[in-house]
Amino acid sequence: MAKNDLISGNIWDEYSQTVQDRMNNPKNMGEITEEDAQKLGGKLIVADFGAESCGDAVRLYWVVDEKTDKIIEAKFKSFGCGTAIASSDTMVDLCKGKSVGEAVKITNIDVEHAMRDTPEHAAVPPQKMHCSVMAYDVIKRAAAQYKGVDEASFEDEIIVCECARVSLGTIRDVIKINDLKTVEQITDYTKAGAFCKSCIKPGGHEEREYYLVDILAETRAEMEKEILEESEKTGKEIPFKEMTVVQILKAVESIIDENIRPMLVMDGGNLEILDIKENENYTDIYIRYLGACNGCASSATGTLYAIEAILKEKLDESIRILPI
């Protein structure tokens, strides 16, 4: 059968050629027996991981040299979609030759990047990223088995999404590694929240200890704190285009406090920032006038232009001020 008969249609434009090749001709699919491991002079490790959300499952075989902890051979079996096969095949390649400790550090983003044709183009659409997360999880399971420890040694195994069996540690790691910003992205990458939806936010049919909205907010806050601390440590200013919404808010508030608010207060007025939104080539800042400024004729003309001009000069030309 010709390749074009196997893979056709616009949907495949979202998959790299590397992924398509590994789907059809995986290099590392197979089984390793105890006898094979003995011939290679290593210990056989067999680990299974399944994603109940989509029915995909992967079995990972390692042969580990116990003197060096090096993975001297690896194979896999995958029961699932083509992307799961491609991700597992790539994951095995990344494991070979590494120590078990090094293999544990392989992330889903490493797997996805290794499947790209070019550095700037994603290998798979976002909704298929959970396949590379599955490959990432089975490595931890194999490592825990080899070291004779609980998987919690490598990852927090509190299960947040019972439907997809996704742990708190996996969700936090995936947010950080992939710079996720929305709950929808978490669902695309891990399948957490895709089914009964009880884990997304309070108010579902089942009360839970952890919710995706809270995990996302807390993890993003940690990430932003780390960025700020690094910026303060190095003394480098963060470019406006790289700022988070929280960082933009702080920068805007600082400029308003120093250059704008004192003048408004002198006239019996003030303003507050209601929202910040990225809108194509613009950063829209929504404000509300308070006190004497509310309803003042100049608040929609001269004052507004002055505020926008100062923020453009001191922060970025893309800023627009929109009164509500």
CATH number, position 315: 3.30.300.130
Q: Are residues 214 and 248 in the same domain?
A: no
Q: Are residues 215 and 256 in the same domain?
A: no
pLDDT tens across 6-41, in order? 444 467 788 999 999 999 999 999 999 999 999 999
How far CA 61 is from CA of 74, 94, 99, 146, in Å, comes to 5, 13, 14, 11
Q: Are residues 218 and 305 in the same domain?
A: no
Kindly state whether residue 230 falls inside one of the protein's structural domains. no
How far CA 87 is from CA of 20, 98, 138, 179, in Å, comes to 11, 18, 12, 20
| Overall number of domains in the chain | 2
Kindly state whether residue 237 falls inside one of the protein's structural domains. no
Whether 242 has a pLDDT exceeding 90, the answer reads no
- Higher pLDDT pick, 317 / 302: 317
Whether 168 has a pLDDT exceeding 50, the answer reads yes
* CB-based contact 166:190 (threshold 8 Å): yes
pLDDT for res 8: 45
Structure confidence at residue 53 as a pLDDT band (50, 70, 90): low
Mean pLDDT of 138-161: 78
Kindly state whether residue 227 falls inside one of the protein's structural domains. no
Question: What is the C-alpha to C-alpha distance for residues 272 and 289, in angstroms, rounded to an integer?
Answer: 7
Question: What is the C-alpha to C-alpha distance for residues 50 and 78, in angstroms, rounded to an integer?
Answer: 10
pLDDT tens across 251-275, in order? 898 899 999 999 899 988 899 888 8
pLDDT for res 7: 43
Structure confidence at residue 106 as a pLDDT band (50, 70, 90): confident
Side chain identity at 10, as an amino acid letter? N
Any idea what the CATH number is for the domain that residue 218 is in? 3.90.1010.10
* Sequence-distant (≥ 6) Cβ neighbours of residue 303 within 8 angstroms: 264, 293, 296
In this prediction the pTM is 0.52
Question: Is 199 a residue of the active site?
Answer: no
Check 131, 161, 199, 293 and give the catalytic one.
Answer: 131
Kindly state whether residue 274 falls inside one of the protein's structural domains. yes
Kindly state whether residue 118 falls inside one of the protein's structural domains. yes
Q: Are residues 182 and 93 in the same domain?
A: yes
Please measure the distance between the N-terminal and C-terminal CA atoms of the chain and give it in whole angstroms.
62
Kindly state whether residue 291 falls inside one of the protein's structural domains. yes
* Domain final residue, candidates 222, 257, 273: 222
Q: Are residues 100 and 213 in the same domain?
A: yes
Question: What is the C-alpha to C-alpha distance for residues 39 and 279, in angstroms, rounded to an integer?
Answer: 61
Q: Are residues 53 and 165 in the same domain?
A: yes
Chain mean pLDDT for the chain: 85
Kindly state whether residue 164 falls inside one of the protein's structural domains. yes
Whether 55 has a pLDDT exceeding 90, the answer reads no
Whether 156 has a pLDDT exceeding 60, the answer reads no
Q: Are residues 169 and 262 in the same domain?
A: no
* Domain final residue, candidates 166, 192, 222: 222
Question: What is the C-alpha to C-alpha distance for residues 126 and 187, in angstroms, rounded to an integer?
Answer: 9
Question: What is the C-alpha to C-alpha distance for residues 293 and 173, in angstroms, rounded to an integer?
Answer: 46
Q: Are residues 202 and 252 in the same domain?
A: no
Structure confidence at residue 5 as a pLDDT band (50, 70, 90): very low
Range of the domain at 166: 3-222
Whether 223 has a pLDDT exceeding 70, the answer reads yes
pLDDT for res 177: 80
Q: Are residues 108 and 149 in the same domain?
A: yes
Side chain identity at 31, as an amino acid letter? E
Question: Is 54 a residue of the active site?
Answer: yes
Other beta carbons within 10 angstroms of residue 86's beta carbon come to 29
pLDDT for res 1: 36
- Higher pLDDT pick, 235 / 78: 78
Kindly state whether residue 194 falls inside one of the protein's structural domains. yes
Check 54, 81, 163, 196 and give the catalytic one.
Answer: 54
